[in-house]
Amino acid sequence: MRKKMMIFGIVILLLSSVTVYWFYYSNPDRFLTNQQLVEKINHVFPEVAADTIQDIIHVDEHHKVIPFVTKDNRYGLSYWAWKNHQWKAVYIDNAGEPKVWRVNPKNSSIYTIVWNIHPDDAVSYMKFYLKKDRNYLIRDGIETYHPGIQLEATASLNGKSYGVLRIPDEWSSVIDSFDEINKAKQLNFFQNVFPARDVFFGWTPYKSSGEEAAIKATTNGNSFHSGDEMIDFIMYVNKSELQSE
Amino acid sequence: MENVNLIAVLLRILGWGMTGYFAYRIYKKQTIKITVWKVIVILFVGVFSFSFDWRMSETTIKLAILPLGVWFLFWLRGRTEQWQIYRHFAWLGFFANYIFLVTTLVYMPLYHVVYPENQADVYISNIERASIISTFPTAQNLTLDKKSLQEQLPKMMEESIHSTEWFHESEEEIDKKSERFPYQLIGSIPKFGSGLNVIVYVENEGKGLLISTPEKQHYFRSEESILKGGQ
């Protein structure tokens, strides 16, 4: 009797661990077909009215970006993650303004910039920035100075409306240095000592002539957000706000 | 990254060790024994108190005033027979606040002796994996001269930060071109056990380091540049 109970217990334990493993840790299934993608997008976010899937961009094993065109000729983006044993749309946007997907919030080296620019905006290439405003503070006679930061990366559209760009290693190092010091500040309850705004992302689109491109068709989108996925806005910066070389 | 504040940890252990020792002394004297886990719980609850806090730069000095934990335990178990035993441990818990106060007072001077604020090599100790990145467009294409940095670090002198001057000299240039600190030193490790977390900016000509900690900033100058011509 005792033996039977033990065997029964072991079987239950094995079954549940297999289930848990399957649910949380198993490798992703084959990705969805274009038709399934359109259906799923329109199911969770009907307003967007997706029509054509442009491509399936592999970000990593568990994350994909799907650019699409809508029925009313907008260029949208959907972000997909393998979660709880299924492919889920974690973010859908019907205007593909560049955003930063913190694919794994704990690992800044795989933060990825994602875009789908409407062809009407005639963008040929874009410059992305990691910026921090210069700042200073004097409190109780103690002075602090916070240098300005401006790192740059260029991405060409190469005739495609959409694309992704993993942030450069230098950006990741700078982000990490601020993340770590902020973590230490929170532990010490010192959050407000430095008022300086932290690093942020910026972008400027250019036409093939080298002039700044005006973004019209790629703006004013609606978006759908599900879960705790971290997707950062990228600020449009004018050439005049930048420190030129 | 996983840099613990060794002195704070050791003093914390010492503080609790002393509390444990006193608890042991009380425990031995008593004729009626209660279980050890009860003693531990009572001690921990007894520590809770209302206190006056003074913030002295990085550390907070807590002066415990009202024994909230003791009151709570009294309210819970005050009318039982065992209270006569419990109360010793509850008050010891409250008293532990003063043991911690003493360790905090010891901590501050001790920390500054082991990790002097005004020495650059406290903030940058191990540079095996260090490198320079340009964080501003005006940066020249320079790389870290490890040999020079190693030589300069112990000799660097702390100087005062001229925040407004530095800010305006960059900001008010007509074409907004310059930045006094256009590089970051990354991958360096602060002195072992300091618990420090730093961002290190490097000055234009490579002879100045601006170091941000979570609480403060320090500015160090060297005689020779720690940067060398880029390849």
pLDDT digits (tens, 9 = 90+) for B215-231: 889 999 999 999 998 54
Residues of A in contact with B175 (CB under 8 A): 244
Q: Is the pLDDT of residue B182 over 90?
A: yes
Check residue B48 and give its pLDDT: 92
Residues of A in contact with B211 (CB under 8 A): none
A13 found inside a domain: no
Q: What percent of chain B has pLDDT over 70?
A: 96
3-state SS of A186-202 is HHCCCCCCCCCCCCEEE
The DSSP letter of residue A32 is: P
Specify the range with the lowest mean pLDDT, choosing from A127-131, A194-198, B47-51, B186-190: A194-198
Residues B203, B140 within the same domain: yes
B1 found inside a domain: no
Structure-block tokens of residue A186:
């929170």
**Residue A196 binned pLDDT confidence (cut-offs 50, 70, 90):** very low
Residues B13, B94 within the same domain: yes
Residue in this structure with the two tokens 């006679």, named with its chain if needed: A141
Q: Is the pLDDT of residue B105 over 60?
A: yes
Domain residue limits at A42 = 31-241
Mean pLDDT, chain B, rounded, equals 90
A97 found inside a domain: yes
A106 found inside a domain: yes
Check residue B1 and give its pLDDT: 44
Question: Is the CB of B215 less than 8 angstroms away from the CB of A190?
Answer: yes
- The residue among A106, A128, A138, A143 with the most chain B CBs within 10 A of its CB, best to mutate, is A143
B192 found inside a domain: yes
A12 found inside a domain: no
Task: Determine the average pLDDT of the residues in B84-92.
Answer: 91
**Residue A140 binned pLDDT confidence (cut-offs 50, 70, 90):** confident
Paired residues of B228 in beta bridges: B143
**What three-state secondary structure class fits A129?**
strand
**How far does the CA of residue A221 sit from the closest CA of chain B (Å)?**
33
Residues of B in contact with A184 (CB under 8 A): 197, 214
Q: Is the pLDDT of residue B171 over 80?
A: no
CB pairs < 8 Å spanning A and B: 99
Residues of A in contact with B202 (CB under 8 A): none
A11 found inside a domain: no
Residues B68, B129 within the same domain: no
Residues B124, B103 within the same domain: no
Residue in this structure with the two tokens 């593909």, named with its chain if needed: A96
Q: Is the pLDDT of residue A194 over 50?
A: no
Question: Is the CB of A243 less than 8 angstroms away from the CB of B177?
Answer: yes
Residues B169, B218 within the same domain: yes
A77 found inside a domain: yes
Check residue B84 and give its pLDDT: 87
B16 found inside a domain: yes
Domain residue limits at B33 = 6-114
Residues B133, B42 within the same domain: no
Domain count across chain A? 1
A184 versus B104: the higher-pLDDT residue is B104
Residues B91, B157 within the same domain: no
Widest Cα–Cα separation across chain A: 84
Task: Determine the average pLDDT of the residues in A23-51.
Answer: 87
**How far does the CA of residue B144 sit from the closest CA of chain A (Å)?**
15
pLDDT 10s digits, A79-99: 999 888 889 999 999 888 999
Check residue B2 and give its pLDDT: 59
Residues B148, B198 within the same domain: yes
A211 close contact with B: CB closer than 8 A: no
- Rounded to two decimals, the ipTM of the complex is 0.82
| Tally of CA atoms within 13 A in the half-sphere of A37 that contains its CB | 27
**Residue A78 binned pLDDT confidence (cut-offs 50, 70, 90):** very high
Task: Determine the average pLDDT of the residues in A5-17.
Answer: 92
Check residue A190 and give its pLDDT: 47
Task: Determine the average pLDDT of the residues in B66-90.
Answer: 89
Give burial (CB, 10 Å; 0-12/13-18/19+) of B13.
Answer: exposed
Domain count across chain B? 2
Residues in Cβ contact with B17 at an 8 Å cutoff, skipping those fewer than 6 apart: none
Residues B155, B198 within the same domain: yes
Task: Determine the average pLDDT of the residues in B180-191.
Answer: 94
Specify the range with the lowest mean pLDDT, choosing from A148-152, B83-87, B184-188, B206-210: B83-87
Residues B128, B78 within the same domain: no
pLDDT 10s digits, A155-187: 999 889 999 999 999 999 999 999 888 887 766
Q: Is the pLDDT of residue B109 over 50?
A: yes
Summarize chain A as % helix, strand, coil (round to 5): 25, 40, 35
Structure-block tokens of residue B70:
């003791």
- Beta-sheet strand order (sheet of B183-186): B131-134, B183-186, B199-202, B208-212, B217-221, B157-159
Structure-block tokens of residue A205:
């689109």
A25 found inside a domain: no
Residue B191 and residue B122 in contact, taking contact as beta carbons nearer than 8 Å: yes
Residues B29, B93 within the same domain: yes
Mean pLDDT, chain A, rounded, equals 87
Q: Is the pLDDT of residue A195 over 50?
A: no
Residues B106, B12 within the same domain: yes
- Residue where a domain stops, chosen among B114, B140, B159: B114
B160 found inside a domain: yes
